[in-house]
Structure 1
């Protein structure tokens, strides 16, 4: 799978007890109140291409990602994430155009997040929260078509039990919020294939555009969002050997918008690659589009 899609789906942004602005492409350290729930739905569309080989591969993937979180204590929250995928690989083989495609439920990720540091002041808060999770192989990973078994990138699931972890820092004020996250995902082998481990460093600025001044009874806010996502994926391994045409490093700049009310948020962002250093003939990322909402109850 492309580093872009790995990064987007590894850890999604998870909202707080009240609907404050928050990162779109990664986590936040703001809490889920004890006994409260947060639901998030995101539509993620990824396109990759730039294949210089005769195969002329083009990859498209659409994911509908459902996230449900629960506040166990004021400091500890649990989250479950289950995606549905529709993946399509177009290519040429023997002078013919071929399409290989798979749609279905992907792998379930469950993670816990704990606030280890909190400093509050009037109109602002600083929080640091590490997280740790596991991805279970709930998606199909042995789908086939008339050409045989589909490539791992087209499968709905990976077939492996994987581990992910990291930490996120959030600095929130009445006018803006800054978030930063470091994360790492360890992938394991299944059916002779092992996806490369993924490291990511993310940063986000959310700035209140409207209303410019706060007053009593303001029902909603419009935030402008600018994020940077640095993603490095190690080479995949096939049959115990490194695949020279996989992995690499991508830097994304991600502009977006959020419409925020007390209980729900509507948001959209597009990840645009500004630097790509990929190995061999690995497909280049064109863009990753994210549209979604989240609500608390």
Structure 2
């Protein structure tokens, strides 16, 4: 029984997170039906009762919501406002920095489960056999599985300013092979680094439902992840550690555009490793460029496609245990030599350029809730030195927006914007 829970921990975590949705109030379904009726009919009219200081009599005035949204009367396609709020243009892949920005005075909660697999060796852009790698090193990795769970919480203070924080837990399992064919394994698990981020709106053609907007992302990665992971007293390689050991600032620019039923955007970001950690090394700087396009199929379903580029620099310096104590080095007569035991301990075997293709689908099971499933495969890998090559990454994200009393969408405010679907 214990082995069942261990081998299926990824699925069990997802069930544990999503189970509370089974007891959501019926009100969620009622709101979703309102949205369906609006988007299918287009002609819903809302009755408003303006206040009058001259008379106690109330006058009914019919207002056409479609005209308020400046919608063309003769569309050859459905008018969609997106699954999430207008502050992210209605639709956006949830794996991008700054994705999912709610209306002012609203919280958003984002929960993610991620599984990545790496199989086989690569040097530069060419595959490298295990036999060839073992000719240079005494042992080398065969494959690696990485599981990551993250929870992020954010709050929008105004139309222009949003703050979010993300914590994560990760587990890394690596299978090794030695000369002679004997196999072994490495494992590390624990809390990863914590991300603190702000998003500032620089430009939007409309505050309520923007069709074009540009935002500035600023943040810092806080070193809450361990860099002391070891196996029987010997330090584990850099790739098996859980954090960077440094405060790492990042900056990004995000563009989002839309013309129903299409959404698109681009995100460019830079993460700086500005100094050495207390073990005398620092990971490489990271540059990212993400391009995405999305198509809304119906009121509660969106397809997405992403091209994601990344460049990571080499590791600078060397961990004290490796440089001074001889961990990760081959030994002769008990004395460490200059040769590394595995490519994983050589800081020159880290970093490189990658281009990935991500496909995904977003589904809205309830109002203000989004379920996002994504699958990523590499299109191009140019790795520094000899490294494991990435095979695929699969992820599931659940996103919730929580309007507070001061929100435009709060029912208690009496403003009634929930029917618009954002």
TM-score category by the smaller chain? 0.7 to 0.9
Q: Is the 8 A contact 2:94 2:100 kept in 1?
A: no
Question: Which residue of structure 1 aligns with residue 254 of structure 2?
Answer: 168
Structure 1 residues 30 and 46, CA gap change in structure 2 (3 angstroms)? closer
May I ask how many residue pairs the two structures share in their alignment? Answer: 274
Question: Which residue of structure 1 aligns with residue 170 of structure 2?
Answer: 85
Separation (CA, whole Å) in 2 of partners of 1:181 and 1:136: 22
CA offsets per residue over residues 15-49 of structure 1, 9 Å max, x none? Answer: 64689321133135774222210000111111113
> Which deviates more from structure 2 when the two are superposed, residues 231-240 or residues 152-161?
231-240
Separation (CA, whole Å) in 2 of partners of 1:296 and 1:121: 18
> Which deviates more from structure 2 when the two are superposed, residues 94-103 or residues 135-144?
94-103
TM-score (normalizing by structure 1): 0.85
Equivalent position to 2:215, from 118, 123, 129: 129
Structure 1 residues 32 and 83, CA gap change in structure 2 (3 angstroms)? same
Question: Which residue of structure 2 aligns with residue 209 of structure 1?
Answer: 297
Unaligned ranges ≥5, structure 1 = 1-14, 211-219
TM-score (normalizing by structure 2): 0.61
1:234 aligned onto 2:287 = no
Question: Which residue of structure 2 aligns with residue 221 of structure 1?
Answer: 300
Larger radius of gyration: 2
CA offsets per residue over residues 247-269 of structure 1, 9 Å max, x none? Answer: 11111111111103530100111
Question: Which residue of structure 2 aligns with residue 282 of structure 1?
Answer: 387
Structure 1 residues 122 and 18, CA gap change in structure 2 (3 angstroms)? closer
Separation (CA, whole Å) in 2 of partners of 1:136 and 1:176: 36
Q: CA deviation at 1:184?
A: 0.6
Q: Is the 8 A contact 2:93 2:99 kept in 1?
A: no
**Alignment of structure 1 residues 40-55 onto 2, 5 Å:** 40-51=110-121, 52=129, 53-54=133-134, 55=139
Separation (CA, whole Å) in 2 of partners of 1:171 and 1:277: 31
Q: Is the 8 A contact 1:123 1:173 kept in 2?
A: no
| Highest RCO, 1 vs 2 (Cα 8 Å, sep ≥ 6) | 1
Q: CA deviation at 1:238?
A: 3.0
Question: Which residue of structure 2 aligns with residue 113 of structure 1?
Answer: 199
Q: Is the 8 A contact 1:29 1:127 kept in 2?
A: no
Q: CA deviation at 1:149?
A: 1.2
Q: Is the 8 A contact 2:253 2:267 kept in 1?
A: yes
The two structures, once aligned, show a CA RMSD in angstroms of 2.3
Q: CA deviation at 1:134?
A: 0.7
Partner-residue secondary structure (3-state), 1:153: helix
Higher strand share: 1
Structure 1 residues 94 and 30, CA gap change in structure 2 (3 angstroms)? closer
Separation (CA, whole Å) in 2 of partners of 1:24 and 1:115: 18
Question: Which residue of structure 2 aligns with residue 258 of structure 1?
Answer: 362
Q: Is the 8 A contact 1:247 1:282 kept in 2?
A: no
Separation (CA, whole Å) in 1 of partners of 2:153 and 2:86: 13
CA offsets per residue over residues 262-286 of structure 1, 9 Å max, x none? Answer: 3010011111101111111022111
Q: Is the 8 A contact 1:167 1:181 kept in 2?
A: yes
Higher helix share: 2
Structure 1 residues 134 and 250, CA gap change in structure 2 (3 angstroms)? same
